[in-house]
Structure 1
Amino acid sequence: MNAVLGGFATLLAVIAVGWVTGRTGVLGAGAAEMLSRLSYYVATPALLLLTLADADPSALLSTTLVATAGSAVLCALLYSVVVYWWRRPKAAQLATGALSTSYVNAGNLGVAIAVYVLGDASYVAPVLLFQVLVLAPIGLTVLASGSSETSPRRLLTQPLRTPVVIGCAIGLALSMLDWRPPELVLRPIELLAGLAVPAALLAYGTSLHGSPRPATGSQAGPIWLAVGLKTIAQPAMAFGLGSAVQLSGTALLAVTVTSALPTAQNVFVYATSHGQDTELARDVILLTTMLSIPVLAGIAVLLG
């Protein structure tokens, strides 16, 4: 249990540092946006390149992905249908909420929880690959559609010009070719990749300073809908889908646990970089991070 609590504590500590920098103003005005752009355009592509270069693409074909990917897609679609019927927002605005209900923190937090609960960090690989190769490109393309300068041609070619997608494509190519670049090339990429998580967490923490109490404004309804879907519905759907494809034991526990992880900070970075519903992303991340602790503990007790 110490590994799980340690994973949450690490995230919250860096977010707290970001809040302090926002309160003191040491990074100046617009620090949250600057840090988000640094993470989005520079560090995250480098991190994903390295991650996929060392990954096994066959993990995308595993049976467990039916449950993890299926639950993510179902929650994103359910959120989109309900909120569109309720508020009629544009597609780009829906994208932030849809990602908030489906894009889990499968990185450092996911690894810590997988090691503690499942005894093997490799269980997060399928969902991580699905997110960076499928969810992120689709979500970023829809987010980009909200720009007034986006023409149909630019929208269709958006994935080819998105830093995150480019990083994923290069990493996947390296993995499929089974080729490792020389250390002289890898070292600066590794250095930049090390910025991705801290920059995203600091950007998120900085944005919390001066923000109203979570889920209190006009977006309260969509925020709580996203939180409920992410915290309760997604792991429940993953369990149901996993059972339907005959998963059992540790495999069923794995898909349920990974689907119960809180919303990733990447969603805030993506929303900020495209100027779409940053408040919703910020509040959903905060609330799901807090609520996922008892949910994960309960799943471990019931299925472990």
Structure 2
Amino acid sequence: MSSVAQDVLPIFILIFFGWSLVRFGVLKEGIGEGLGDFVFRVAVPMLLFRTIAHADFHGSSPFRLWIAYFAGVAIAWTIGHLIATRVFGHDSRIGVLAGVSAGFANNVFIGLPLVERTVGPEGIVAMSILLAVHLPLMMIAGTLLMERAEQKTSGRPSQGLMAVSRQVALNLVRNPLIIGLIAGIIVQTLGVPIPAVLDNVVAQVAGMAAPAALISLGMTLNQYGMAGNVRIAGVVSTIKLVLMPACVWAVATLLGLSPQWTAALVLTSSVPTGINAWLIANRFGVGQGLAASVITLSTAVGVLTVSLWALLLL
């Protein structure tokens, strides 16, 4: 238990540290947003680039990894949607948002640092393979389903599948994470060695990703809070923190993934809800309070549930 605590607790202590810096006026909230931009646009892309460029995949196929993770996403998303609409009586827009919140893990800001500390290099390779498709699939699915729910609820004309897909695809092509992954794949495929001086610089910047991501996340959490919705937020958070990783573990075990890859997938699926849920809610102007409540609650409780999953897996 002590080794698990040494790996997991620092993750959440850094989040709390970032939250405290803004909460007690040491730094302004805008600094956290700037730090988050640095993490998202520079540090994490360099981490993914270097990981993929140096990785030895041993001929492993990524498809079993993707199936294991997204099976858990699909189950959590579906149950979150059904509970929001059938049990709590919300419309389909809130149903979509509840599904997104239940299935969209904070893989970049919490998952990567957690897997790096607990699983190591093999886990980061698995995370890189996952992130290559995670953001595109989740954002396209969330946006299209919300667009459909918005049309159904408000009766406004739909933008059309092609128009929405084109807009999301354009955003993804310019996404720094995708650029970092593609650059790493190119270097890996060509077998071109990275010059030692350049590799050292990239390694130092990539090393900033984990602590900077956690501190910036804590700083931005000050803008969320619990805006009501405690009951439904509690249910959605439970699905996210307990049911989703349990499903990922079951499918990964059935598919025979390695212990390192299984641990990486389960641990990253067990982390709190990512801010992407709030971004989708904010874009469509519905459910911001629910998304914010789930993010805050799942982050607050996550230290316990993530520790439990780490204890079971490691």
TM-score range, shorter chain: 0.7 to 0.9
Select the residue among 88, 93, 99 that pairs with 1:89: 93
Select the residue among 237, 255, 265 that pairs with 2:247: 237
Q: 2:37, 2:282 → 1: CA distance?
A: 11
Contact 2:142/2:280 (8 A) holds in 1: no
1:79 aligns with 2:80: yes
Contact 2:76/2:240 (8 A) holds in 1: yes
Q: Which residue of 2 aligns with 1:30?
A: 30
The change in CA–CA distance for 1:236 and 1:26 in structure 2 (over 3 A counts) is closer
User: What is the CA-CA distance between 1:135 and the residue it aligns to?
Assistant: 0.9
Q: 1:275, 1:192 → 2: CA distance?
A: 31
User: What is the CA-CA distance between 1:18 and the residue it aligns to?
Assistant: 1.0
Matches within 5 A, 1:181-192: 181-192=194-205
The change in CA–CA distance for 1:59 and 1:15 in structure 2 (over 3 A counts) is same
The runs of 5 or more residues in structure 2 that have no matched partner are 148-162
User: What is the CA-CA distance between 1:124 and the residue it aligns to?
Assistant: 6.1
Residue 119 of structure 2 aligns to a residue whose secondary structure is helix
Residue 227 of structure 2 aligns to a residue whose secondary structure is coil
Q: Which residue of 2 aligns with 1:70?
A: 71
User: What is the CA-CA distance between 1:220 and the residue it aligns to?
Assistant: 2.9
1:178 aligns with 2:191: yes
Q: Which residue of 1 aligns with 2:112?
A: 107
Contact 1:200/1:266 (8 A) holds in 2: no
1:198 aligns with 2:249: no
Q: 2:2, 2:297 → 1: CA distance?
A: 26
User: Which letter does structure 1 place at the counterpart of 2:73?
Assistant: A
Q: 2:203, 2:179 → 1: CA distance?
A: 16
Cα deviation digits, residues 202-228 of structure 1 (max 9, x gap): 12222344764xxx5334345323322
Q: 1:69, 1:161 → 2: CA distance?
A: 24
Q: 1:108, 1:4 → 2: CA distance?
A: 14
Contact 1:49/1:168 (8 A) holds in 2: yes
Q: Which residue of 2 aligns with 1:51?
A: 51
User: What is the CA-CA distance between 1:198 and the residue it aligns to?
Assistant: 2.0
Contact 1:101/1:229 (8 A) holds in 2: no
User: What is the CA-CA distance between 1:197 and the residue it aligns to?
Assistant: 1.9
Select the residue among 168, 174, 181 that pairs with 1:168: 181
User: Which letter does structure 1 place at the counterpart of 2:205?
Assistant: L
Q: 2:197, 2:281 → 1: CA distance?
A: 33
The runs of 5 or more residues in structure 1 that have no matched partner are 116-120
Q: Percent identity?
A: 16
Cα deviation digits, residues 50-93 of structure 1 (max 9, x gap): 12222245444375654344323432344345446644227995
Q: 1:167, 1:266 → 2: CA distance?
A: 23
Cα deviation digits, residues 170-215 of structure 1 (max 9, x gap): 1122222222221343344333323322222112222344764xxx
TM-score, with length taken from structure 2: 0.71
Q: Which residue of 2 aligns with 1:118?
A: none
Residue 27 of structure 1 aligns to a residue whose secondary structure is coil
User: Which letter does structure 1 place at the counterpart of 2:173?
Assistant: L
User: Which letter does structure 1 place at the counterpart of 2:138?
Assistant: G
Instruction: Work out the number of aligned pairs and report it.
Output: 287
User: What is the CA-CA distance between 1:270 and the residue it aligns to?
Assistant: 8.4
